[in-house]
Chains A and B, each alone.
Chain A
Amino acid sequence: MSTPAIQHCNDFVIKFANVNGSGSASANELFARAIIRMGVPVAPRNIFPSNIQGLPTWYEVRVTEAGWLGARGGCDMMVAMNPQTWDRDIAAIEPGGYLFYDSTKPLPPSKFRDDITVLGIPLTAMCNEEYEDARQRQLFKNIMYVGALIALLDMEFAAAEQLIVDRYRGKDQLIKANVNALRLGYDYAKQHLPCPIGLRVKRADAVGDRIMIDGNSACGLGAVFGGATVAGWYPITPSTSVIEAFSSYCRKFRTDPDNGRARYAIVQAEDELASIGMVIGAGWNGARAFTATSGPGISLMQEFFGLAYFAEIPAVIVDVQRGSPSTGMPTRTQQSDLLSCAYASHGDTRHVLLFPEDAYECFSLTAQAFDLAERLQTPVFVLSDLDMGMNEQLCAPFNWDDSRRYDRGKLMTYDELEAGKDFGRYLDVDGDGIPYRTIPGTHPTKGAYFTRGTTRNPYAKYSEIGTDYVYNMERLRRKFNTAKDLVPAPILKKAEQPTHVGVIYYGSTAHAMAEAGAKLAADGIHVDTLRVRAFPFSDEVMEFIAERDAVFVVEQNESAQLRTLLINEGEIDPKKLVRVLHYDGSPITARFIAGKIADALTDRKISPIGQPQRKVAS
């Protein structure tokens, strides 16, 4: 072999190439979780086609004791189970890497890579011998290769075995069969292959109390904790599992123990127009309501967003972004709905957006979105994406303060109306731009008003008078400013050394950014970073930019939407904001970010450290 074999412990990437629908997903996940059980963090990712069966699918597990949860890129070991992508998969292996394949059929006789270690197991032959049933042969083949990997990577067999016991608790037959398959693969590798290889997993203590869950499930759970009782939705990848999770958590937590009846209502609408319509109707009528969708759904909902904004109705929208425009890349990730959400609908609309970075914040910010929507009486968007929504990830354990009460905002009650309090639905009583509202049915003679998308005076009466319109628009602007102080603040991370360079980013970019920051620092490039967590941007964001010579804006879309939003809202000199854009549908990596920043600094001759500062080249 021309290249020495890669030697890495607790720090490598292993990729599984499978065929969609072959039942590999749960075996692959078993592998990833077994490593976590050994106290070693992993960052797993699905790469799947927009198709149900037959097309190629990949699952990659980044084993990372350092805890870098972003995608790394490259692959040290390929588990090549898909003949269709064989050539591509072999080519993807890093020099010195490993190929694991089903050796039932011999390797192609043609010229083969000589810089990788080839590890063959006759999986098909073994399964044909062991199992009668075709489906069993298929499923247990997957478990078998996991068993072999455990031997090859020097993992603890007991960790995987215990996972199987936990997963199929009470179903002894299944436990036995799965453990048997695992053992067959393990024993074969032990006897016939050079175990362990250069890649190894060694027990560590780096996982802590973290949990592993996907962002969409976390959003669904957040909606339960946030008090959502109504969901109107329409299926679309990658958001569907938000509602599926909401539904199953509701069944678990919101079923009346006395009579089995539901303390929630979920309606699968006929389309996105209807789903957001239902959310608005329910919000108007005093329930906490939400929908989950993706880009195409956001496009369809535009007119209704304008109505909810102008008529001031609370609504929560979870947008799990995917490759766009149009049907784009439905199963690939992007952050390209930012502008279409921020200014959704015709006219001068402006919406509150929240940007979770991981599953933990998918939970906490979704729950918080309901408070914000009611407090501000407006739609609130939670902008997730496919990478964080559909991939399981390690994150901080969820927590909840039991003394927390839902913030229902400015609701005028029966008693207040009865006591003669002046009620003008669109009257700015407190100077914060937020008016009081009444819920239908509150009082027999007071507090009823007419909700409409047309102009009205502060008492909700139809009006075409310009001054009424202007009063309303100015109040809405005031309200948006009030929102600045209510939304989650940005998170600043100062570099270890003083620097004139900053980086702004949001959402799932956070994992890659954390690693990129460390990489750059190791190369002597120091950058302060600011993770924005909401729109409207709080003043800190603008100060961060003002105080630095150059600020990189890292995001996953082609047109630099976050940068545009910053320039537009903060009236910032565009020259100051340097684009770092990744948009091929794969999750952004630390390698990419660090490379772009280092190159740009060299090109622009910016020294990030020390005095005096050099100005940004124009």
Chain B
Amino acid sequence: MTYLAKPKLHSADAPRNALGYTRRDYEGAISTLCAGCGHDSISASIVQACFDLDIEPHKVAKLSGIGCSSKTPDYFLGNSHGFNSVHGRMPSVLTGAALANRNLLYLGVSGDGDSASIGIGQFAHAMRRGVNMTYIVENNGVYGLTKGQFSATADKGSKSKKGVINSDSPIDLAMLALQLGATYVARSFSGDKEQLVPLIKGALRHGGPAFIDVISPCVTFNNHAGSTKSYDYVREHNAAVNRLDVILPKAQIEASYPPGSLRRVVQHDGSILHLRKVGVDYDPSDRIGAMNHLQERQALGEIVTGLLYVDSSGQDMHTHLNTVEKSLNQLGDAYLCPGSKALEALNAMLR
């Protein structure tokens, strides 16, 4: 019954952000996903990140494809416009929306079936086009909504609930995003909110294509022994390369972390990513290094998480297209229609 909005009862002492909003103002309809589904934790992390960043909910446009994961935008940011498009084709719809209005925040939510199979082309091209957005894949290695088929991110040799062994090689979307030109690439785990929330915050603050692959176990079809996307498996094999804090421009920039284990990355809007090192010598500004690291660790059966790559000078599609600052959907007739005089001149040239 997703049309039931959550009752908005603000308790007087609920914490408020700089806009005066409580966390409740960032929530949406009641989730209809299975109890324990990883996707709900991701929704909660998105709510937390937007609340923390003082984002005006109505300045966010949330778009998705089709799948359990793609249903989730209904369950957060109830005051934002949402768009459940068609299976695998969210990236193009989001690209069009971003072309129309460059002054909203774009959040794309997708599944591994949605993005790595039917939608892999659109995923790839949105990355290389530099669409300014946060693209989150809720990756459970199965098709949830159609009840348990392997998806293209399922590891070779992993077992389905019915006991079938997957014989196809997996697609690593983070790796692809790196190769295709995303300027912010991260991987996380729905069960690790401490890591995920700051990664989402960093992505929302990033001024270009930001991609986060979130391993999000499907409790109904892919949370058993033999699955490499189950809660237990991911907890055991998680190898974080760093931990992230996002410091907003208005906050005190000085941090209390000991220098040496810290790396500061200033984003285009002045916010600062503080990366606490976990992995030794991991350099998130080295795209090729990141790709190598991912592959080496993957060969060892590890799931590398954290901020894998960031290029904070990243430009977005509108920079490439040299479009005006004002949103295209705000330009009135006077700015768009050349008028009858121009037409007369043109007629004369065509005689």
Contact = CB atoms under 8 A, between A and B. Distances in A.
Interface string A558-594: 0000000000000000000000000000000000000
A311 B91 CA distance: 18
A455 to B, nearest CB: 11
B73 to A, nearest CB: 8
A413 interface: no
B92 A227 contact: no
B86 A262 contact: no
B104 interface: yes
Contacts, number: 229
B350 interface: yes
A225 B337 CA distance: 5
Interface string A597-608: 000000000000
Interface stretch (A126-134, A174-182, A253-261): A253-261
A441 B121 contact: no
A114 B325 CA distance: 71
A267 B336 contact: no
Contacts of A230: 96, 99-100, 328
B59 A441 contact: yes
A281 B99 contact: yes
B24 interface: no
A260 B57 contact: no
B302 interface: no
Which of B96, B99, B331 counts the most chain A CB atoms within 10 A? B96
Given A280-B96, A463-B3, A304 B89 contact: yes
A213 B350 contact: yes
A282 B99 contact: yes
B276 interface: no
A253 B340 CA distance: 12
Contacts of B82: 448-451
A399 interface: yes
Contact of A265 (B78, B122, B323, B337): B323
A298 B173 CA distance: 30
Given A265-B323, A287-B101, A303-B86, A229 B96 contact: no
A523 interface: no
B121 A270 contact: yes
A229 B331 contact: yes
B329 A285 contact: yes
Given A225-B337, A264-B328, A440 B80 contact: yes
A341 interface: no
Nearest to A230: B99
Given A229-B328, A400-B340, A444 B104 contact: no
Given A211-B351, A400-B339, A450-B74, A263 B99 contact: no
Interface in A232-266: 232, 253-254, 256, 259-266
A516 interface: no
Contact of A462 (B2, B85, B322): B2
Secondary structure of the B side of the interface? helix
A248 B2 CA distance: 47
Given A280-B93, A284-B83, A463-B3, A262 B324 contact: yes
A211 to B, nearest CB: 4
A211 B3 contact: no
Contacts of B80: 440, 448
A224 B96 contact: no
A285 B343 contact: no
Contacts of B73: 450
B79 interface: yes
A129 B85 CA distance: 66
A493 interface: no
A265 B321 contact: yes
B125 to A, nearest CB: 4
B297 interface: no
A69 to B, nearest CB: 15
B81 interface: yes
Interface string A417-449: 000000000000000000000111111110011
A267 B129 contact: yes
Contacts of A400: 337, 339-340, 343
Nearest to B331: A263
A285 B96 contact: yes
A157 interface: no
A286 B322 contact: no
B90 to A, nearest CB: 8
B81 A440 contact: yes
A48 interface: no
B96 A307 contact: no
A209 B347 CA distance: 9
A397 interface: yes
Nearest to A218: B350
Contacts of A212: 350-351
Interface in A528-582: none
Interface in A389-428: 397-402, 405-406
B81 A281 contact: no
A497 interface: no
Contact of A271 (B98, B121, B336): B121
Nearest to B90: A277
B329 A229 contact: yes
Which of B78, B81, B342 counts the most chain A CB atoms within 10 A? B81
Contact of B125 (A274, A284, A406): A274
Contact of A261 (B83, B125, B323, B336): B323
B200 interface: no
Contacts of B328: 229-230, 263-265, 282, 287
Given A230-B328, A444-B58, A450-B74, A211 B95 contact: no
B254 interface: no
Nearest to B102: A265
A445 B58 contact: yes
B92 A274 contact: yes
A151 interface: no
B333 interface: yes
A7 interface: no
A453 interface: yes
22 contacts: A229-B328, A260-B322, A261-B322, A261-B325, A265-B99, A267-B95, A273-B89, A274-B125, A276-B92, A279-B96, A281-B63, A281-B94, A284-B93, A397-B347, A400-B339, A440-B61, A440-B97, A441-B61, A441-B104, A451-B83, A451-B84, A462-B3
The 8 closest A-B CB pairs, nearest first, are A281-B96, A277-B92, A461-B3, A287-B100, A278-B96, A440-B81, A286-B329, A211-B350
